[in-house]
Amino acid sequence: MCRRMSLIFLCLVSVLFFAGCMEKMKAVDSGLCCGPEMVAYYTETPVNIDGKLDDAIWQSAKTETYYMYLSADAKEDVFLAEAGKIRIAWDDKYFYLACEFTDSDVVAEGDEDQLQHYQLGDLCELFLKPADKSWYWEIYMTPRNNKTVFFFPSKGYLGLPSCFEDYAFDFKVAALVDGTLNNWHDKDKGWTGELAIPIKELTARGETFGPDSRWRIFVGRYNYSVYFTAEELSMSPQLSKTNYHLIDEYASLILKK
């Protein structure tokens, strides 16, 4: 009798374990868990791209604020010197991002669009990727109001000239500097920025963009300063390493109406 009860108990445990594994597999496959999430709320009123961050959606209590971090492998005695935070939103035509960065020395030496601005000064980078596709976008906004968009058909195309030259599209950016741009002799307070990405560009290859779609998102920052010994790289969400192309570690983008 005891042996029979033991066998029944083991069978029940096995069934429950298998069911749990199946649920976990479903969750991983759906992209709804097993990693960070970033929520973008729908706005009935289009964001005015002026860099001021005074739009109703940015002031709304429901709009989440996401903070910038050093990568998880940073040394224990190294801390983020200058804070940053971002907010995201969307409507039927655009995906929006707003950034607010503390910055004691605002630097932007590039004066044209479609440059590799991470080599030229302070920068906010937005990465967007359809969860079930290989391709993704790398989109720049500088405190000087310049912009860049790169497109990678897959991570295996990183560095190829076509990714930097052949896939550009127009989008909106605006930034405001609290201080003096490109003057290392004084001390600045920071900069704010807004960008608007046309959804028609994100869905040009058959993707969908809405509450039922699956996307991944990452935001990186380059911060150059006369007060640093090296540029400071921060991010949201936090990655395991300072490598902005760790696409498997990007957050799941949740689009809510």
Mean pLDDT score of the chain, rounded to an integer?
A: 90
The predicted-structure confidence for 136-165, as pLDDT tens digits, reads as follows 999 999 999 999 999 999 999 999 999 998
Long-range contacts from 180-184, C-beta under 8 angstroms, 24+ separation? 180/106, 181/106, 181/107, 181/108, 181/143, 181/144, 182/106, 182/107, 182/108, 182/109, 182/121, 184/105, 184/107, 184/226
pLDDT at 4: 52
pTM of the model: 0.86
Per-residue CA distances from 166 to 152, 159, 163, 203 (Å): 10, 13, 6, 17
Nearest-5° Cα angle at 64, 136 to 170: 35
| Phi, psi for residue 23 in degrees, rounded to 5 | -65, -40
The predicted-structure confidence for 219-231, as pLDDT tens digits, reads as follows 999 999 999 999 9
The dihedral over CA atoms of 100, 103, 109, 112, expressed in degrees to the nearest 10, equals 0
Q: Inform me whether the pLDDT recorded for 125 exceeds 80.
A: yes
pLDDT category at 2 given cuts 50, 70, 90 is: very low
DSSP state of 34: S
pLDDT category at 34 given cuts 50, 70, 90 is: low
* Secondary structure percentages of the chain, helix, strand, coil, to 5: 20, 30, 50
pLDDT at 165: 87
Q: What is the mean pLDDT of residues 18-40?
A: 54
CA–CA distance, 221 with 103 (Å, rounded to integer): 11
